[in-house]
Chains A and B, each alone.
Chain A
Amino acid sequence: MKGLKKTTKVDFATYIGVTIAFIVMYILQSGKHLSNSLSGQLVPICCFIAMAVSLNLVVGISGELSLGHAGFMSVGAFSGVVAGMSLSNVIPSVPVRLAIALIVGALFAAVAGIIVGVPVLRLRGDYLAIVTLAFGQIIKDLINCLIVGYDSRGLHIIFNVSGLKSVTDLHLEEGGKAIIKGAQGAVGVTKMASFPAGYILVMITLIVVLNMVRSSTGRSIMAIRDNRIAAESVGLNITKYKLIAFVTSAALAGAAGALYGLNYGSLVSSRFDFNTSILILVYVVLGGLGNIWGSVIGATVLYILPEMLRSFSNYRMLIYAVVLILVMLLTNNEQFKRWRGSMAEKLGRGKRAEGGV
């Protein structure tokens, strides 16, 4: 191909950047050059990059505000943990089991995405936001009612609506194991996640989202975002494309959730509450709406930021809040925008790169 398109270049730069960052961090990690806390954060960072990139597909590309993205992560995490744990006798290989867990997580989250998306995507703007918020809360409550265990006979699941049942009601055989214990969440999870797995997750997420955006599906999704009425007039099925964006995003979040869940010994559903959804949304907005590599950087920087502010101990979240407000005020300041625009021109960047996809 003669003269690659600008968007293609940006995509490749994103892949290469992520790969280089991975290699550097991996070498540092293997050589024990990383602090324990940073080393422990590599997998969660990968998960949250995938979360941010997938949320960007809904909020940035599709232009719908979702406040319940962590709900899909939660669905993926718990279904992934159940898959990863219960298959331990059948599939001894950890990487294969991890891959299956991620796929299971993605599938369950995709189903949740369809269940929420089909009725809800005809709502617009803030109404969609509130419904996704409600969905996040519902998922949290429902998972708190789950009691799941497995033994040689297979999986046992109780849905503990009354709140009176416990693990003993599963009647597990000798040697059986409880995986999710209601409000206590998942306990005794075998840590299967690894940094390379996180890297692969991020790459797959990027490839899916970027390739979709550059295809007719992505174009249609963006066209609908730009002008719904015109999109209908040229024959685009609005619901179909919105649903594709929403469900793909949910599935990717599910995979990220599964990896996240399998990175810890225990997991409670409140880990994926409204605040987590908001946190991911912040990554996306600060990284730039519709800007995929921006989400990667936004998630990385903002995930590490509170850790770096640790020396401020009690003040760190306060500083985080102030940084958040100031960044929003600054990036929306007309004078600052103009200054940035002129800087961009001086650096010889084309107009499209500015805020481009």
Chain B
Amino acid sequence: MVFFSYLISGISLGSVYAIIALGYTMVYGIAKMLNFAHGDVIMVGGYVCYCALSYLNLPAIVAVPLAMIACTALGVIIEGLAYRPLRQAGSLAVLITAIGVSYFLQNGAQLIWSATPKNFASVVHFDLPESMTSLGLSSEAIVTVAACIVIMVVLTLFVNKTKLGKAMRCCSEDKGAAQIMGINVNRTISMTFAIGSALAAIAGVLLCSAYPTLQPTTGSMPGIKAFTAAVFGGIGSIPGAFLGGLLLGIIEAMAKAYISTNLANTIVFAVLIIVLLVRPTGLLGKYAPEKV
């Protein structure tokens, strides 16, 4: 039974990672860049939701969409101002810029909301029957996992069935060819950032509901973990992000429970390294050899 409760906490943590990892993976797939600021968008999402709840006294049903809208706007603005001018530049230049954006968001948040942690009241709390809580289930865990599955399904349908989704896949395959076929590459990339950031907002709210402290650095560690999860699953692959996130969460929870709290992160990263050594492109990543 104890094992079951660890498993549940692992799956719910993994679901959050998966949602964040989706943002990383989509942006990487299409723009071929590591958006290090993604983790901080999560944090902003958390703060916006927090403000809407506690200062404006809005209901959660309004606060969460508000956070999503704010993050979407933020994502699009970041992309347009900081990343778009660097489309032709080397990947390192973009990486450093993303780091700059990350610093900016963290320090901006610190100025606005101060470094003192805020106590985030769970927005997805409802009472569960005794029989379920005794198994270690919580309303947050249920909502998180459900949200993750819904997002996963919707996103897969979106990418495979809609016109914009197809445009995204084209751009990730070959931007030049996509442009020739009349796809507006810039707008498609913008949309990808918008979707990724909206997901980040959801992840932020869920993360803060499960671990109710909110501070300017809240997003960085989950961001790094989710990025790891995306690579673990095969960066650029949507099912890979889902799988990677989930596995990472479970490994982390199990390592904490059965091996060592101190070394949980070490174990997570060690597993990542081993997976990459065996499968250099991650679990579901594609291998593209260089043509000679």
Which residues of A line the B interface, CB within 8 A? 59, 65, 119-120, 122-127, 129-131, 133-135, 137-138, 141-142, 144-145, 160-163, 183, 228-229, 274, 278, 281-282, 285-286, 289, 314-315, 317-318, 320-322, 324-325, 328-329, 331-334
Give bound CA distance, A325 to B79, whole Å: 12
Q: Which residues of A contact B235 (CB under 8 A)?
A: 126
CB-contacts of B129-164 with A (<8 A): none
Q: Are B107 and A318 in contact (CB under 8 A)?
A: yes
Q: Is B66 an interface residue (CB 8 A)?
A: no
Q: Which listed residue (B100, B272, B292) contacts A321, Cβ 8 A?
A: B100
The answer to whether B99 has its CB under 8 Å from any CB of chain A is yes
Judge whether A285 and B92 touch: CB under 8 Å.
Answer: yes
User: Can you report 16 A-B residue pairs in the complex whose CB atoms are below 8 A from each other?
Assistant: A65-B91, A126-B34, A127-B280, A138-B270, A183-B262, A229-B292, A282-B99, A285-B96, A317-B106, A321-B104, A325-B97, A328-B86, A328-B93, A329-B82, A329-B85, A332-B90
Chain B residues lying within 8 Å of A332, measured Cβ to Cβ, are 85-86, 88-90, 93
The 8 closest A-B pairs by CB, nearest first: A134-B269, A324-B100, A321-B103, A321-B104, A332-B89, A325-B100, A317-B107, A141-B266
Query: Which residue in A59, A120, A315, A321 is a CB contact (below 8 Å) of B92?
Result: A59
Q: Are B266 and A142 in contact, CB atoms less than 8 angstroms apart?
A: yes
Which listed segment binds A: B5-13, B205-213, B223-231?
A: B223-231
- What is the number of residues of chain B that contact chain A, defined by CB distance less than 8 Å? 48
Q: Is the CB of B107 within 8 A of A325?
A: no
Residue-by-residue, is B231-265 near A (CB-CB < 8 Å gives 1, otherwise 0)? 10001000000000000000000000001111101
Set B97, B104, B263: member contacting A318, Cβ < 8 A: B104
Closest chain-A Cβ to B290's Cβ sits at a distance in Å of 7
Cβ contact within 8 Å between B107 and A134 = no
Complex: A250 Cα to B130 Cα, angstroms? 55
- What would 9 more interface pairs be, CB under 8 Å, given A161-B260, A329-B82, A332-B89? A65-B92, A127-B280, A130-B231, A229-B290, A281-B96, A318-B103, A325-B100, A328-B89, A332-B85
Q: Does B276 contact A (CB under 8 A)?
A: yes
**CA of A65 to CA of B34, assembled, Å:** 12
Contact A134 B96 (CB under 8 A): no
Min C-beta distance of A82 to chain B, whole Å: 20
Partner of B263, one of A141, A229, A281, A329: A141
Contact flags (1/0) for B276-292 with A, using CB distance below 8 Å?
11001110000000101
Q: A163 CA to B262 CA in the complex, in Å? A: 7
| Chain A residue with the shortest CB-CB distance to B87 | A332
Contact A130 B272, beta carbon cutoff 8 Å: yes
Cβ A314 vs Cβ B86 within 8 A:
no
Least CB separation from B97: chain A residue: A328
CB neighbours (8 Å) of B82 from chain A are 325, 329
Flag whether B111 is at the interface (Cβ < 8 A): yes
Q: Does B121 contact A (CB under 8 A)?
A: no
Kindly report which residue of chain B lies nearest to residue A130, judged by CB atoms: B231
CB distance from B78 to the nearest CB of A (A): 10
**A344 vs chain B, min Cβ distance (A):** 19
CA distance A282 to B101 in the complex (A): 13
Measured between beta carbons, the chain B residues less than 8 angstroms from A286 are 96
Q: Is the CB of A138 within 8 A of B96?
A: no
A320 CA / B95 CA spacing, docked (Å): 16
- Distance A349 CA – B285 CA, assembled complex (angstroms): 46
A322 touches B228 (CB 8 A): no
Kindly list chain B residues whose C-beta atoms are within 8 Å of the C-beta of A274: 220, 224
B108 at the interface (CB under 8 A from A): yes
A163–B261 touching, CB < 8 Å: yes
Output the least CB separation between B93 and chain A (Å).
5
A137 in contact with B276 given A127-B281, A274-B224, A320-B103 (CB within 8 Å): no
Q: Nearest CB to that of A330 among chain B residues?
A: B85
Interface: B74 (CB within 8 A): no
Within 8 Å by CB of A131, from B93, B108, B110, B272, lies B272
Interface core residue of B28, B90, B260 (most chain A CB under 10 Å): B260
The one of A127, A135, A314, A334 in contact with B111, judged by C-beta atoms closer than 8 angstroms, is A314
Quote the shortest CB–CB distance from B94 to chain A (angstroms): 8
- Report B287 CB to chain A, min CB distance, Å: 11
Contact check: which of A127, A138, A318 meets B231 at CB < 8 Å? A127
Within the complex, the shortest CB–CB distance from A166 to chain B, in Å, comes to 13
Least CB separation from A125: chain B residue: B91
A324→B262 CA distance, assembly (Å): 34
Q: Which residue of A lies closest to B78 (CB)?
A: A325
Residues in A with CB closer than 8 Å to B227 are 130
A322/B104 contact (C-beta < 8 A), A163-B262, A329-B97 known: yes
Q: Shortest distance in angstroms between B68's beta carbon and chain A's nearest beta carbon? A: 25
B178 to chain A: closest CB distance in Å? 22
Q: Which residues of chain B come closer than 8 Å to A334, judged between CB atoms?
A: 88
Q: Counting chain B CB atoms within 10 Å of each CB, which of A130, A142, A286 scores highest?
A: A130
